């Protein structure tokens, strides 16, 4: 048994078999063969081609059965056509016989020759053919090497997914009923992959450095997303222990459900709102079943991030209306305008290949340069607003000019709706995320122009400390309790209150039970988080007084180091609140 420590990124426990996602960095072996081995190598290639063909046919049937889009089907057809090309196999055989090299290398060289003349082309169709040829070659090589190479959306049995990294778009394509846990080499707690894992209630440990080189397909593995530990080939007593831990964890979660109907009220009667963060519209059910009093952040960009399609106005309208109707007429639903860029790349929208994507063409910066996409989204939101209490929120605002520009566009889209007699809610509240340090520093000016703030600590911490939120190598620097961060939080909350607007938080810090009392003491009005964190945070809100929380803040605000603050807050919390333990 091997135990590896990583970053606890999504709570819960997964016990199961490893599915090693080897799509990245496939190393192709190269070795010479004898003349009398050629026939056997040719047979190996033929067999691998047949297996690839049946994989593709099976995949095609399944996509058709699921009613999936034409784009997927066209890709599969193209791949089948490559396999059926009468010249394809003879070319590989020729390469094998002439060069006397192994089948994998011969295949790779053949594809290299076939793609060479297409590579420099600016023709989109030809560029895609290059990708198709490599994709088919990869599939065949996986069969030659006897590696499991099921695409992620093809996983059809219960597994724990082990991979180097995972893009948010890949997480979205997974069938969540089959993937019980994630163990990844890369990533941090506030990366969007981690955020999606929490949303889908998939236990996850990230930042494990090189777990991919330490496991094999089909091996037993335990992912402890609470402690940030992974056990490879656990011994029987560890498995027994974890089966017991899992049942304790599940009963702890069930007990929390008793708080469902109760308000977020401190012992001395101070009321805060506890709201849900949603990544996909279907999560409304989970928000409601965990007692959310509304939606504090709906990350609308995930509607666009599905491969192969760009969400049209009607599709967007339906998604927004679904969330608004689901939450009921009185619960606020905060839809954030599209926040693409950074680690949320949408190839169908634009070429996001940038030197420095985290500081690059993101969020409102993207929207202001693509008013066509932005206006379509705002119109879909306005149309949907008749179904509930919509709040519109803008991400990554860095100054008043940018804010004025997006507000002007919103006004103009409202006017367009009036002209076209499209009904919408005229009293929609409009707010901004405060997640860029410059916005925090001028929060007093920004507060005069909007109805609410929502602090995006995931980015705010990243930009305040200059630490990439997704980079496991510097994850130790990503410190929510850094005194600089706490001062910024206080500055934003005070600025909002001075202008009489509510201040919420929708970054991951809002759902961290250890931070709850501190945030209460700082005066936060709304806490928005993954639905499955809501009840634990509510339990903590209900077990302290506002006065105590303010005392905690007074104790720590003058401390100079995050270590001291961290230790102090942990001790303070552990003395008053009983946390879940195995
Ligand atoms: C944040 O930055 O805190 C936030 C909520 O937005 P995202 O995580 O989507 O960047
Ligand atoms: Mg953000």
3-state secondary structure 514-566: HHHHHHHHHCCCEEEECHHHHHHHHHHHCCCCHHHHHHHHHHHCCCCCHHHHH
Determine the 3-state secondary structure of 62 from DSSP.
Answer: helix
How confident is residue 192, by pLDDT bands cut at 50, 70 and 90?
Answer: confident
- Is 582 part of a structural domain of the chain? no
Q: How far is the CA of 299 from the centre of ligand 2 (A)?
A: 10
Parent domain of 343:
258-576
In a domain, 29, yes or no: no
Same domain for 131 and 154, yes or no, is: no
Instruction: Tell whether 441 and 364 lie within a shared domain.
Output: yes
Say which range, 71-80, 177-186, 473-482, has the weakest mean pLDDT.
71-80
Structural domain contains residue 30: no
Q: The CATH number of the domain where 562 resides is what?
A: 3.20.20.60
Q: Write down the pTM of the prediction.
A: 0.78
pLDDT at 55 over 90: no
288 and 422 both lie in a single domain = yes
Neighbours of 358 (CB within 10 A): 16
> Is 192 tagged catalytic?
yes
Q: Per-residue pLDDT tens for 424-456?
A: 999 999 999 999 999 999 999 999 999 999 999
pLDDT digits (tens, 9 = 90+) for 86-132: 989 999 999 999 999 999 999 989 988 888 887 777 666 676 677 67
Q: Do 154 and 60 share a structural domain?
A: no
CATH code, domain carrying 222: 3.50.30.10
363 and 460 co-located in one domain = yes
Q: Residue 135 has what pLDDT? A: 73
Confirm whether 422 is domain-assigned: yes
The answer as to whether 569 is a domain residue is yes
Residues framing ligand 1 (Cβ under 6 A): 297, 299, 339, 435, 456-459, 506-507
Boundary residue ending a domain (119, 144, 169): 144
89 and 233 inside one domain: no
Give the separation between CA 377 and CA 346, rounded to whole angstroms. 16
Atom 9 of ligand 1 has which residue's CA nearest to it?
Answer: 299
Question: Do 494 and 542 lie in a common domain?
Answer: yes
Q: Are 485 and 462 in contact (CB under 8 A)?
A: no
Q: Does 498 or 155 have the greater pLDDT score?
A: 498
Q: To the nearest whole number, what is the mean pLDDT of the chain?
A: 90
**Residue 117, domain CATH:** 1.10.274.10
pLDDT given at position 115: 84
C-alpha distances out from residue 217 to 89, 156, 200, 224, 242, Å: 30, 15, 24, 19, 21
In a domain, 89, yes or no: yes
Whether residue 189 contacts residue 8, with contact meaning beta carbons closer than 8 Å, is answered with yes
**Torsion sign, CA atoms 151, 153, 158, 164:** positive
- Take atom 6 of ligand 1 and give the residue whose Cα is closest: 456
**Residue of the CA atom closest to atom 7 of ligand 1:** 458
The answer to whether 104 touches 141, Cβ cutoff 8 Å, is yes
Which of 79, 142, 192, 482 is flagged as catalytic?
A: 192
State in Å: Cα 230 to ligand 2 middle: 29
> Would 305 be classed as within a structural domain?
yes
pLDDT (mean) for 400-406? 98
| Number of separate domains in the chain | 3
Per-residue pLDDT of 533-561, as tens digits, reads 999 999 999 999 999 999 999 999 999 99
**465 and 559: one domain?**
yes
Q: 88 with 181, same domain?
A: no
Range 75-79 average pLDDT: 77
Which pLDDT value is given to residue 349?
65
Same domain for 462 and 556?
yes
| Residue at a domain's end among 144, 164, 185 | 144
Do 269 and 249 lie in a common domain?
A: no
Chosen domain end from 255, 283, 306:
255
Q: Specify the pLDDT at position 166.
A: 85
Q: What is the pLDDT of residue 68?
A: 47
- Give me the phi and psi of 306, to 5 degrees please: -65, 135
Classify residue 184: in a domain, yes or no.
Answer: yes
Active site residue 146: no
């Amino acid at each position: 048994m091997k135990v590896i420590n990583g970053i606890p990124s999504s709570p819960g426990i997964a016990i199961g078999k490893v599915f090693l996602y080897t799509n990245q960095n496939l190393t192709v072996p190269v070795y010479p063969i004898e003349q009398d081995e050629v026939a056997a190598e040719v047979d190996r290639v033929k067999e691998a081609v047949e297996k690839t063909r049946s994989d593709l046919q099976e995949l095609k049937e399944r996509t058709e059965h699921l009613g999936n889009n034409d784009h997927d089907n066209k890709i599969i057809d193209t791949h089948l056509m490559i396999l059926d090309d009468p010249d394809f196999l003879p070319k590989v055989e020729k390469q094998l016989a002439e060069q006397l090299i192994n089948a994998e290398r011969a295949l790779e060289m053949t594809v290299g020759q076939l793609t060479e003349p297409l590579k420099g082309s600016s023709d989109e169709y030809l560029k895609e053919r290059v990708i198709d040829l490599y994709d088919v070659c990869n599939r065949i090589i996986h069969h030659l090497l006897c590696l499991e190479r099921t695409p992620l959306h093809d996983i059809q049995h219960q597994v724990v997914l082990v991979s180097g990294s995972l893009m948010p778009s890949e997480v979205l394509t997974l069938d969540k009923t089959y993937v019980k846990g994630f163990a990844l080499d890369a990533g941090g707690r506030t990366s969007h992959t981690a955020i999606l894992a929490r949303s889908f209630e998939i236990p996850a440990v990230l930042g494990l450095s090189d777990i991919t080189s330490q496991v094999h397909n089909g091996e037993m593995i335990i992912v402890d997303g609470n402690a940030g530990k992974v056990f490879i080939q656990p011994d029987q007593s560890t498995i027994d222990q974890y089966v017991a831990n899992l049942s304790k964890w599940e009963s702890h979660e069930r007990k929390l459900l008793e708080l469902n109907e109760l308000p977020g009220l401190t012992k001395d009667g101070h009321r805060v709102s506890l709201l849900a963060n949603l990544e996909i519209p279907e999560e409304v059910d989970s928000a409601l079943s965990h007692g959310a009093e509304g939606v504090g952040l709906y990350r609308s960009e995930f509607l666009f991030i599905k491969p192969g399609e760009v969400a049209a106005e009607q599709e967007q309208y339906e998604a927004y209306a679904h969330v608004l109707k689901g939450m009921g007429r009185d619960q606020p639903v905060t839809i954030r305008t599209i926040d693409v860029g950074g680690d949320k790349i949408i190839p169908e929208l634009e070429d996001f290949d940038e030197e420095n994507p985290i500081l690059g063409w993101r969020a409102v910066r993207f929207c202001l340069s693509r008013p066509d996409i932005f206006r379509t989204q705002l119109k879909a939101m306005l149309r949907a607003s008749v179904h509930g209490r919509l709040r519109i929120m803008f991400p990554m605002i860095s100054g008043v000019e940018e804010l004025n520009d997006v507000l002007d566009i919103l006004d103009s889209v409202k006017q367009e709706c009036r002209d076209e007699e499209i009904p919408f809610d005229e009293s929609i509240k409009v707010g901004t995320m405060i997640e860029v340090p410059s916005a925090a520093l001028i929060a007093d000016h920004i507060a005069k122009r909007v109805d609410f703030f929502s602090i995006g600590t995931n980015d705010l911490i990243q930009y305040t400390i200059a630490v990439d939120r997704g980079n496991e190598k510097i994850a130790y620097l990503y410190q929510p309790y850094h005194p600089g961060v706490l001062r910024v939080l206080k500055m934003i909350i005070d600025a909002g209150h001075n202008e009489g607007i509510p201040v919420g938080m929708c970054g991951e810090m809002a759902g961290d039970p250890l931070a709850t009392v501190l945030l209460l003491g700082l005066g936060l009005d709304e806490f928005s988080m993954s639905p499955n964190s809501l009840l634990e945070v509510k339990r903590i809100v209900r077990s302290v007084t506002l006065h105590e929380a303010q005392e905690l803040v007074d104790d720590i605000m003058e401390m100079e180091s995050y270590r001291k603050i961290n230790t102090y807050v942990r001790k303070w919390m552990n003395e008053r609140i009983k946390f879940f333990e195995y």
